[in-house]
């Protein structure tokens, strides 16, 4: 069972993320891939399409070319036992409990999906914090991201600004949707510190919900696919009446 060392926990709190290589066996990843691609081919609801995210470069509508390119297979937890088993795996739950310092819950409202990035119609994701649209008593959550295949700058892999979860930004540094305004000189200095990740199937990233991250377009010939779940501490519930509270959370046993 995965447990982080004191040094790794300190690194997480400093940088906002940790990568564990080859944490998930290839046999497990292959099952997840097969199910994910079958659901993509059959367009099994609930889905989010590229035309619905509204990012620059995305198709303008469902009826535009590429408008029905799938961005996310939503509600991964209930799609198949392989996804829910991974969400509650001790190799996920135990390290997240270490990082948050208490028993944790899986939020069903955020992430809880298979993320895809398609060639041609997969739009870029700007620099943002997940907390821009999450509503909890404290903005201290952790995303656990499992790569189901290679991820790198060529196919729209993740990029992080290390330590940015500890920054307090002026309101004018963000646009109306709380994305980082990349044209500002002080933000460009931040972007100069960005680190692109290179992942292989089975690699897992643990990252703080307030860490700035982005992902470019997919210039490869293959669909990039990842599983993402998000966790909050038991003492940090979603705010009543918020979108974060609507779908509820699942308490996970102390490991």
Express each pLDDT in 149-193 by its tens digit.
999 999 999 999 999 999 999 999 999 889 999 999 999 999 999
**Model confidence at 222: pLDDT above 70:** yes
Instruction: Please indicate, yes or no, if residue 82 is contained in any of the structural domains.
Output: yes
**Model confidence at 254: pLDDT above 80:** no
For residues 10 and 189, what is the distance between their CA atoms, to the nearest angstrom? Answer: 25
Name which of 44-48, 102-106, 130-134, 142-146 the model is least confident about. 130-134
The predicted model gives 91-113 an average pLDDT of 96
Assessment of whether the complete model's pTM goes beyond 0.75: yes
The predicted model gives 15-43 an average pLDDT of 97
Name which of 7-21, 62-76, 152-166 the model is least confident about. 62-76
Instruction: Please indicate, yes or no, if residue 1 is contained in any of the structural domains.
Output: no
Instruction: Please indicate, yes or no, if residue 210 is contained in any of the structural domains.
Output: yes
Domain that holds residue 78: 6-251
Most confident of 2-6, 147-151, 242-246: 147-151
Instruction: Please indicate, yes or no, if residue 126 is contained in any of the structural domains.
Output: yes
Instruction: Please indicate, yes or no, if residue 35 is contained in any of the structural domains.
Output: yes
Strand arrangement, sheet containing 125-128: 125-128, 213-215, 158-160, 195-196
Q: Is 164 exposed, middle or buried (0-12, 13-18, 19+ CB in 10 A)?
A: buried
For residues 240 and 77, what is the distance between their CA atoms, to the nearest angstrom? Answer: 22
Instruction: Please indicate, yes or no, if residue 53 is contained in any of the structural domains.
Output: yes
Instruction: Please indicate, yes or no, if residue 196 is contained in any of the structural domains.
Output: yes
Instruction: Please indicate, yes or no, if residue 230 is contained in any of the structural domains.
Output: yes
pLDDT of residue 207: 98
Domain count, the chain: 1
Q: CATH number, domain at 98?
A: 2.60.120.620
């Amino acid at each position: 069972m995965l447990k982080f060392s004191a040094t790794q926990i300190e690194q997480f709190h400093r940088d906002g993320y940790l990568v564990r290589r080859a944490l998930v066996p290839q046999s497990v990843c292959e099952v997840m891939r097969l199910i994910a691609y079958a659901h993509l081919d059959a367009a099994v609801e609930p889905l989010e399409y590229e035309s619905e995210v509204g990012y620059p470069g995305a198709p303008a509508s469902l009826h535009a070319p590429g408008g029905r390119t799938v961005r996310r297979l939503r509600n991964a937890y209930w799609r198949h036992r392989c996804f829910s088993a991974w969400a509650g795996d001790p190799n996920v739950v135990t390290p997240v409990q270490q990082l948050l310092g208490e028993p944790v819950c899986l939020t069903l409202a955020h992430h809880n999906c298979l993320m895809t990035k398609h060639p041609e119609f997969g739009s870029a994701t700007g620099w943002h914090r997940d907390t821009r649209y999450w509503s909890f008593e404290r903005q201290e959550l952790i995303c656990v991201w499992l790569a189901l295949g290679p991820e790198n700058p060529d196919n729209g892999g993740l990029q992080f600004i290390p330590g940015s979860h500890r920054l307090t930004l002026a309101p004018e540094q963000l646009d109306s949707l709380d994305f980082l305004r990349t044209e500002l000189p002080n933000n460009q200095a931040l972007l100069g510190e960005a680190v692109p990740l290179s992942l292989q199937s089975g690699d897992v990233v643990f990252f703080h919900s307030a860490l700035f991250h982005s992902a470019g377009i997919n210039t490869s010939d293959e669909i990039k696919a990842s599983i993402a779940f998000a966790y909050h501490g038991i003492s940090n519930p979603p705010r009543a009446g918020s979108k974060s509270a609507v779908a509820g959370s699942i308490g996970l046993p102390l490991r």
